[in-house]
Amino acid sequence: MKPNTDPLVNRPGFWRVAAPLIIGIALLLMWQIVCTLLEVPPYLVPTPALIVKTLAADWSMLMASLLVTLKITFLAFALAVVLGVAIAFVFVQSRFIEISLFPYAIILQVTPIVAIAPLIIIWVKDTTAALTVCATIMALFPIISNTTLGLRSVNPGLLNLFRLNKATRWQTLRRLRIPSALPYFFGGLRISSGLALIGAVVAEFVAGTGGTGSGLAYQILQAGFQLNIPRLFAALLLITLTGILLFWLMSALSRAMLAGWHESEMA
């Protein structure tokens, strides 16, 4: 039998990092070449080199704004996890409770945060608290839906086995439902972490238009008003890299918790 020479099989970890990097570098080179050859003005589309140069020049200011945005993001994400898991545990206790309250969770998800953010900022006097509430609303639904689905997705044979052995509701929850829900829960974390960042940025945009400024969204607004497009792209780059880092952290946490026993991570 011939050995498998597929590079994706022999070195999956290497290619998982190298393949996206190669494509990304190629796209950046094309961007740089096209902007240079066509002499595109930097106030329309700056080159990647100019964006990196601007990021280095404005590093201290942009990093200070990023820390403010990250503070809102982490507060909202933590609050969404606590509330989402608690609500999912309530939903799984009774089908009647779930069908009665789940539509309101859907309403919360489909309501545009841009539409209600001004109201929240008016109602909540503290700016940090208002921004956190807006970002939490964005990040909450994936935790609720994924955790509820995971708690419901229990092997019927195992559930019958627990019932035959007269397991209590708490024992069934702790030893069967929670382990079964963990892959779904970590999937929700990967989605929710990015939504918390998006919610923080959107809320900062709304707050920034009202004269409150310190986060990255405010820097984007100011750069747009001043036609400082390279700084605008540099701020966008920081937001993008932060989102990628958050997704990677949640994926690493999922692998650490599931690699030893769940088929989704064992390979």
Query: Structural domain boundaries of the chain?
Result: 1-38, 52-266
Q: What is the pLDDT of residue 6?
A: 59
Topology of domain 52-266, per CATH? MetI-like fold (1.10.3720)
Contacts of 189-192 spanning 24+ positions with Cβ under 8 A: 189/81, 189/143, 189/250, 189/253, 189/254, 190/247, 190/250, 190/251, 190/254, 191/142, 191/146, 192/77, 192/80, 192/81, 192/84, 192/139, 192/140, 192/142, 192/143
- Average model confidence (pLDDT) across the chain: 88
Q: What is the pLDDT of residue 212?
A: 54
Name the band, by pLDDT with cuts 50, 70 and 90, for residue 95.
Answer: confident
Name the band, by pLDDT with cuts 50, 70 and 90, for residue 167.
Answer: confident
Q: What is the pLDDT of residue 209?
A: 53
- The residue-averaged pLDDT of 135-152 equals 93
Higher per-residue pLDDT: 187 or 108: 187
Question: In this structure, are residues 58 and 231 in contact, taking their beta carbons and an 8 Å threshold?
Answer: yes
Least confident of 77-81, 90-94, 196-200: 90-94
